[in-house]
Amino acid sequence: MNPCRCGMAGEPGHVCARGQRCRTVYQARISGPLMDRIDLRIDVPAVTAADLIKPGVSEASAVVATRVASARARQKQRFLELGHPGVTANARCPTALIETIAQPDSGGAALMRDAAEKLKFSARAYHRILKVARTLADLDGVETVGRIHIAEAISYRLSGEVAVAA
Cα–Cα distances (Å) from 11 to 26, 37, 129, in that order, read: 16, 27, 29
pLDDT digits (tens, 9 = 90+) for 10-51: 666 667 777 777 777 777 777 778 777 777 777 777 777 888
Q: Is the pLDDT of residue 67 over 90?
A: yes
Pick from 43-57, 61-75, 86-100, 139-153: least confident: 43-57
The answer to whether 117 and 149 have CB atoms below 8 angstroms apart is no
Tell me the pTM. Answer: 0.79
Q: How many CB atoms lie within 10 A of CB 89?
A: 14
Sketch out the chain's domains with CATH numbers: 1-30 (no CATH), 61-157 (1.10.8)
Helix, coil or strand: residue 41: coil
141 neighbors 66 (Cβ within 8 angstroms): no
pLDDT in tens, 142-156: 999 999 999 999 999
Q: What is the Cα–Cα distance from 2 to 147, expressed in whole angstroms?
A: 30
